[in-house]
Amino acid sequence: MLKEILTHRYLALIFRLYLGGLFIYASMYKINYTSEFAETIASYQIVPYWAVNLVAVGLPWIELICGTLLLLGIRSRSAAALACFFLVLFTTGLAVNLMRDAPISCGCFHTLGEKISWRTLVRDLAWVIMILHVLFLDRAFHLERKFSLPFRTVRI
């Protein structure tokens, strides 16, 4: 029973919609305050100094595209894979900086947000689990399939 609930496709749909919305929301602030986001990226001390600004310019838009595709169910598997990659990257960066005891803020939604902590790491890990659930179990309400299905019925 528990397994059925945990592996239910509607649960995957809920996760997909939640994460899609989350990515869109997160990207909004980063797009509007690019320089602050660049500082946040730099504070993690993972990205080389010459690539920090480039990442700060491109990453929020990739997040926006990813979130939109997840929300609409278009190329959702690929979008989920990319989102998963980002979440794993963020979580890893977070873990490394936690271990370094770096006095930095998370920067997930606001530049002047909360300082990173183990709680932040757990939250990020939860998002990683959700995106993995979406990646492997998401089957419901794909807008793309709604449009592509009629082609299969066309026969001369």
Partner 1 sequence: MVTSEPDMIERSSGASLEWQQEPGPSAPGDDPARHALVANLRHELRNTLSAIIGFSEILLEDMEQADGPGPSIDLQYVNRAGKQILEVIIDILDPGKIEANLSNADFQRILIILQERLRIPLSTLISHGEALCESAQKAERQGLADDLHVIYGLAKQLKEIVEQLVFPASVASTIPGNANKKPDKAKAIHDAADIIQAMGSLSSPREAPQGCILVVDDDEANRSLVCSCLKRAGHKIITAENGRQALELLTAHDFDLVLLDIIMPEMNGYQVLKQMRNTDRLHNIPVIMISAFNEVDSAVRCIEIGAEEYLSKPFDPTMLRARVKACLEKKMERDETVRELSTDLDSKASQLQATSEKLGASRREIELLEEKTSSIESAVQQEIEKIRRVSISDILVMVVCGFILGLVFNAANPGSVRLLPQSWSASSPPFIDPDSAKAKFDAKSVLFVDARPAEYYRQGHIPGAVSLPTALFDFVYMMKFAGTDPEREIIVYGRDISRLHDEETASRLQARGHRNISIMPGSLAAWQKRGYPLEE
Q: Which residues are at the interface with partner 1 (CB under 8 A)?
A: 31, 33-35, 38-39, 41-50, 52-54, 56-66, 69, 75-79, 81-82, 101, 103-104, 135, 142, 144-145, 148, 151-152, 154-156
Nearest CB to partner 1, comparing residues 1 and 156 = 156
Q: Are 49 and 43 in contact (CB under 8 A)?
A: no
Handedness of CA 135, 139, 141, 145 (dihedral sign): positive
How far is CA 110 from each of CA 26, 27, 51, 90, 142, rounded to the nearest angstrom? 8, 10, 21, 15, 31
> Cβ of residue 82: shortest distance to partner 1, in angstroms?
5
Task: Tell me if 30 sits within 8 A of 37, measured CB to CB.
Answer: yes
Cβ closest to partner 1, residue 6 vs residue 51 = 51
**Residue nearer to partner 1 on the CB measure, 8 or 77:** 77
The length of the chain is: 156
Q: How far is the CB of 98 from partner 1 (least distance, A)?
A: 14
Nearer to partner 1, 5 or 114 (CB): 114
* Shortest distance (Å) from residue 2 CB to partner 1: 26
Smallest gap from residue 151 Cβ to partner 1 (A): 4
The residues near 54 (Cβ < 8 Å, ≥ 6 apart) are none
